[in-house]
């Protein structure tokens, strides 16, 4: 990611009121994670799998603070169980920011499943999402996701793809 | 050792703490054992989510004591949270694992702890939670509650309890969604904050 895209993500998170980020690092967001770690206004929590991160974000919601789950889109598959239980069972929302691995242009065979499964899984869970491929749209998209999730009390997702992450 | 008896001992020590608890029969037991904590307890049906949610709550409210009432099945569903707690070292999180060595709510088939080899407290210590213990008597459990509620480091006690359920107790009628609203409104009132506020327009 370019530094300008990293900056746009962090601006969006801050404008949305996020103070805690749970993440499991990936390669497309490689530059984002240390920037989040270094930001004095954001507490980062490194997790062992994205499902654990989703549950921690749910707990943060209950505290009145705002959290984000940052991950590769493969982490969505690891998160389905807690997302279904928290979102559909209790109305506890998690806002996700994920890198779009496996979209057209992907040149790693192992990432193809991530692209094939991401949108059907989001649709199956009825999670609204926006794929953002223009740097100018990052900040407002993150703000929009929080506005929606804090009125729906349900999950939403932003997937960053295209030249934003490559 | 009966889980319900442990719960009454723990409940007697609680005042303004917040509790996240696991699924199964322990829900109705806690509902009855700690009636003064009903609004302060999030009753959820989320295997593997309980201690992570409690940690998230603890991270968001660092001045407030948070209690996770997890289970052997729930903790083993997501052992990774123990490593996260080991690294993050929350100062305000007391975790209880009700270990009845079975999946009680579906009739009692054994969990991995039933065969004498798997030791959740030892796994927790190996993950960096230095204060992780196993209690086999009410007196031991009560002493760990006293220590865990005062600890400035993550504290975990595995309570080895019988696979029985307290008979003739009142069932909780609310579902997970209603429970969330009750809990959130309690947090809002006691913290003086807004979590679920009004829309822009009515």
What does the pLDDT look like over B123-169, one tens digit per residue? 999 999 999 999 999 999 999 999 999 999 999 999 999 999 999 99
Looking at residue A109, its pLDDT comes to: 97
Place of tokens 């009845």: B100
- Mean pLDDT, all residues of chain A: 98
pLDDT of residue B46 exceeding 90, the answer is no
Q: Distance between alpha carbon A12 and the CA centroid of its chain, in Å?
A: 12
Domain ranges of chain B: 3-191
Note whether A90 contacts B44, CB cutoff 8 Å. Answer: yes
Q: Is residue A110 very low, low, confident or very high in pLDDT (cuts 50, 70, 90)?
A: very high
Looking at residue B25, its pLDDT comes to: 85
Higher pLDDT, B105 or B101: B101
What does the pLDDT look like over A51-109, one tens digit per residue? 999 999 999 999 999 999 999 999 999 999 999 999 999 999 999 999 999 999 999 99
Task: Evaluate whether the domain defined by A3-160 bears CATH number 3.40.50.970.
Answer: yes
**Nearest beta carbon to residue B52 from set A52, A90, A153:** A52
Residues of chain A numbered 93-132 and touching chain B (CB < 8 Å): none
Q: Which residue of B has its CA nearest to A150?
A: B196
Give the β-pairing of B18-21 and B66-71.
Answer: parallel
Q: Which residue of B has its CA nearest to A79?
A: B49
Looking at residue B44, its pLDDT comes to: 80
Q: Other C-beta atoms within 10 Å of A113: how many?
A: 14
Paired residues of A142 in beta bridges? none
Looking at residue B105, its pLDDT comes to: 85
Q: Is residue A3 very low, low, confident or very high in pLDDT (cuts 50, 70, 90)?
A: very high
Q: Is residue B23 very low, low, confident or very high in pLDDT (cuts 50, 70, 90)?
A: confident
Looking at residue B156, its pLDDT comes to: 98
Substitution target from B40, B53, B176, B194 for chain A, most A beta carbons within 10 A:
B53
Q: What is the DSSP string of A103-161?
A: STT---GGGHHHHHHHHHHHHHTT--EEEE-SGGGHHHHHHHHHHHHHHHTS-EEEEE-
**Nearest beta carbon to residue B84 from set A47, A57, A92:** A47
CA dist B10 and A157 (Å) reads 39
In what order do the strands lie in the sheet containing A129-132?
A43-46, A18-23, A66-72, A95-99, A156-160, A129-132
pLDDT of residue A161 exceeding 80, the answer is yes
CA dist A58 and B9 (Å) reads 29
Looking at residue A131, its pLDDT comes to: 98
CA dist B195 and B188 (Å) reads 6
Q: Other C-beta atoms within 10 Å of A44: how many?
A: 17
Residues in chain A closer than 8 A to B59 (CB atoms): 20, 43, 45, 56, 59-60, 63, 65
Complex ipTM:
0.97
Q: Distance between alpha carbon B105 and the CA centroid of its chain, in Å?
A: 17
In 3D space, the residue among A34, A47, A36, A30 whose CA is nearest the CA of residue A12 turns out to be: A36
Contact in structure between B102 and B108 (CB atoms under 8 Å): yes
Place of tokens 């069972």: A89
- B112, B116, B118, B123 alpha-carbon torsion, rounded to 10°: 150
| Tokens representing residue A118 in the block | 């991401």
Give the β-pairing of A18-23 and A43-46.
Answer: parallel
| CATH architecture, range B3-191 | 3-Layer(aba) Sandwich (3.40)
Q: What's the rounded mean pLDDT across residues A14-28? A: 98
Looking at residue B202, its pLDDT comes to: 86
Note whether A62 contacts B183, CB cutoff 8 Å. Answer: yes
Across the A:B interface, residue pairs with CB atoms under 8 Å apart total 121
B139 vs chain A: nearest CA distance in angstroms? Answer: 31
Q: What is the DSSP letter of B113?
A: G
pLDDT of residue B24 exceeding 90, the answer is no
- Mean pLDDT, all residues of chain B: 96
Contact in structure between A32 and A9 (CB atoms under 8 Å): yes
Query: In this complex, is the C-beta atom of A91 within 8 Å of any C-beta atom belonging to chain B?
Result: yes
Helix, strand, coil in percent for chain A, rounding step 5 = 55, 20, 30
Collapse the DSSP code of A77 into the 3-class scheme (helix H, G, I; strand E, B; otherwise coil) and give the result.
Answer: helix
What percent of chain A shows pLDDT beyond 90? 99
Residues in chain A closer than 8 A to B80 (CB atoms): 47-49, 52
Q: Is residue B21 very low, low, confident or very high in pLDDT (cuts 50, 70, 90)?
A: very high
What does the pLDDT look like over B104-125, one tens digit per residue? 888 899 999 999 999 999 999 9
Contact in structure between B112 and B100 (CB atoms under 8 Å): no
CA dist B1 and B118 (Å) reads 19
In 3D space, the residue among A90, A92, A29, A27 whose CA is nearest the CA of residue A57 turns out to be: A92
Q: Is residue B101 very low, low, confident or very high in pLDDT (cuts 50, 70, 90)?
A: very high
pLDDT of residue B45 exceeding 80, the answer is no
Q: Is residue B99 very low, low, confident or very high in pLDDT (cuts 50, 70, 90)?
A: very high
Q: Which residue of B has its CA nearest to A92?
A: B180
Substitution target from B42, B47, B49 for chain A, most A beta carbons within 10 A:
B49
């Amino acid at each position: 990611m370019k530094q300008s895209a990293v900056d746009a993500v962090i601006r969006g998170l801050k404008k949305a009121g996020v103070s805690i980020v749970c993440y499991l690092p990936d390669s497309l967001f490689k530059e984002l994670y240390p920037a989040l770690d270094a930001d004095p206004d954001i507490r980062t929590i490194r997790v062992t799998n994205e499902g654990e991160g989703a549950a921690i974000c749910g707990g943060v919601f209950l505290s009145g603070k705002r959290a984000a789950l940052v991950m590769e889109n493969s982490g969505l598959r690891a998160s389905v169980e807690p997302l279904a239980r928290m979102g559909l069972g209790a109305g506890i929302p998690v806002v996700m920011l994920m890198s779009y691995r496996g979209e057209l242009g992907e040149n790693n065979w192992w990432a193809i499943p991530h692209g094939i499964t991401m949108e059907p899984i989001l649709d199956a869970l009825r999670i609204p999402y926006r794929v953002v491929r223009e740097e100018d749209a990052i900040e407002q998209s993150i703000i929009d996701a929080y506005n929606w999730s804090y009125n729906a009390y349900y999950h939403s997702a932003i997937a960053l793809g295209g030249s934003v992450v490559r | 050792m009966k889980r319900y008896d442990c719960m009454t001992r723990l409940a007697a020590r609680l005042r303004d703490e917040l509790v996240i608890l696991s699924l199964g029969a322990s829900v109705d037991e806690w509902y009855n054992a700690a009636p003064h904590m009903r609004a302060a307890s999030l009753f959820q049906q989320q295997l593997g989510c309980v201690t992570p949610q409690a940690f998230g709550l603890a991270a968001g409210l660092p001045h407030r004591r948070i209690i996770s009432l997890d289970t052997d099945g729930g903790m083993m569903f997501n052992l990774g949270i123990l490593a996260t707690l080991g690294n993050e070292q929350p100062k305000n999180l007391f975790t209880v694992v009700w270990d009845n060595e079975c999946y009680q709510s579906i009739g009692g088939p054994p969990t991995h702890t039933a065969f004498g080899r798997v030791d959740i407290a030892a796994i927790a210590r190996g993950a960096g939670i230095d204060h992780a213990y196993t209690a086999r008597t009410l007196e031991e459990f009560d002493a760990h509650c006293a220590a865990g509620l005062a600890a400035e480091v993550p504290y975990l006690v595995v309570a080895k309890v019988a696979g029985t359920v307290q008979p003739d107790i009142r069932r909780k009628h609310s579902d997970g969604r209603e429970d969330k609203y009750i809990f959130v409104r309690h947090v809002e009132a006691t913290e003086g904050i807004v979590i679920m506020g009004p829309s822009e327009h009515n």
